[in-house]
């Protein structure tokens, strides 16, 4: 029976980018994806590479900032290996600060001024009397990003089993030995669960997950990426 060094459950942007990073280190990798790789949250995302401290949970700030810094190099490598343009942009984001933000950072508007009046940047929003600021953030096309990651993973020799749902993580003598699927099983001594919103559903270690935006009282924080023709 074929064995891999690592099996990754889930072929979203997290599973695919981890698979590429492991292959670069000489590790054999199988990604098991129940549908088509890159078709769930990674397909729906807006592509904002956000690390603004006022809306990043403090515990994630260092990670978010490091990740935003690493993105240009990550994207450059993916584009090189896949031949796919992922449309990375650095036009930044228009962010509408709430009264709470302005209380916390009274100089926000002068510290992060818009590069042009709001009605020039986004005419449809110009009539809004809101505290608009400009964040120096990048963005990518998330669908192009996952397509590029999939091509780059294949190019690097990552094995991908799509249309195959993992039903359980297999254990023997208290150690991981592989994953079971609806039709068969795959063998590896290391399993990484990258099943995103479904990560908690895999026996034997199930855990509850909760939708945040639908169920929790998170303040509405309007933000939008600038489109390139609006700023030169
Ligand atoms: C509407 C929307 C907008 C967003 N906008 C942004 C944004 O602007 N910026 C940003 O940084 N983030 C954004 N996000 C969040 C971002 O999309 C996610 O954080 C990211 O895509 C998560 O990637 P993932 O690989 O963990 O999950 P996913 O892309 O969901 O991948 C998980 C994969 O696991 C597979 N899977 C699940 N269960 C199994 C199983 N049992 N067996 C095999 N495979 C399985 C699924 O089919 C799926 O392909 C947004 C999310 C949404 C929904």
Q: What is the pLDDT of residues 84-94, one digit of tens each?
A: 999 999 999 99
Q: Report whether pLDDT(105) > 60.
A: yes
Query: Which domains, from first to last, does the chain contain?
Result: 6-89+138-214 (3.50.50.60)
Strand partners, 160: 31
The DSSP bridge pattern shows strands 138-139 and 6-9 to be: unpaired
Q: Going by CA atoms, what residue is nearest to atom 6 of ligand 1?
A: 45
Q: Report whether pLDDT(97) > 50.
A: yes
pLDDT in tens, 42-58: 999 999 999 999 989 99
Residue 209: both structure tokens together: 């997950």
Give the mean model confidence (pLDDT) for residues 103-130.
91
Atom of ligand 1 lying closest to residue 194 CA: 26
Q: What span, in angstroms and rounded, lies between the C-alpha atoms of 20 and 23?
A: 5
Q: What span, in angstroms and rounded, lies between the C-alpha atoms of 143 and 58?
A: 28
Atom of ligand 1 lying closest to residue 202 CA: 41
φ, ψ for residue 162, nearest 5 deg:
-100, 165
- The enclosing H or E element of 147 equals helix 142-155
pLDDT in tens, 147-191: 999 999 999 999 999 999 999 999 999 999 999 999 899 999 999
pLDDT in tens, 73-83: 999 999 999 99
pTM, full prediction: 0.90
Question: Are the CB atoms for 151 and 81 separated by under 8 Å?
Answer: yes
Atom of ligand 1 lying closest to residue 42 CA: 21
Terminal Cα distance for the chain, rounded: 58
Ligand 1 site residues (CB inside 6 A) read: 9-15, 32-35, 39-42, 44-48, 165-166, 194-198, 202
pLDDT mean across residues, the chain: 91
Per-residue pLDDT band for 211 (boundaries 50, 70, 90) equals confident
Residue 219: both structure tokens together: 């303040």
SS3 126: coil
Measured in Å, residue 8 CA sits from the centre of ligand 1 at 14
Q: CA 158: distance to chain centroid?
A: 20
């Amino acid at each position: 029976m074929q064995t891999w060094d690592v099996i990754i459950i889930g072929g979203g942007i997290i599973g695919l980018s981890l698979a590429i990073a492991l292959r670069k280190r000489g590790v054999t990798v199988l990604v098991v994806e129940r549908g088509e790789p890159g078709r769930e949250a990674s397909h729906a995302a807006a592509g904002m590479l956000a690390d603004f401290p006022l809306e990043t949970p403090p515990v994630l700030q260092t990670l978010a900032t490091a990740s935003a810094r690493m993105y240009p190099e990550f994207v450059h490598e993916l584009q090189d290996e896949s031949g796919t343009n992922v449309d990375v942009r650095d036009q930044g984001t228009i962010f509408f600060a709430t009264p709470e933000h302005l209380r916390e950072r009274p100089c926000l508007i002068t510290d992060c001024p818009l590069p042009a009046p709001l009605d020039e940047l986004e005419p449809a929003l110009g009539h809004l009397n809101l505290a608009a600021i400009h964040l120096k953030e990048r963005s990518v096309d998330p669908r192009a990003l996952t397509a590029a990651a999939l091509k780059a993973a294949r190019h690097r020799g990552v094995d991908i089993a799509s249309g195959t749902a993992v039903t359980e993580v297999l254990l023997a003598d208290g150690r991981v030995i592989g994953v079971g699927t609806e039709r068969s099983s795959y063998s590896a001594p290391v399993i990484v669960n990258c099943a995103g919103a479904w990560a908690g559903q895999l026996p034997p270690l199930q855990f509850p997950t909760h939708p945040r935006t639908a169920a929790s009282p998170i303040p509405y924080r309007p933000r939008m990426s600038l489109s390139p023709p609006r700023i030169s």
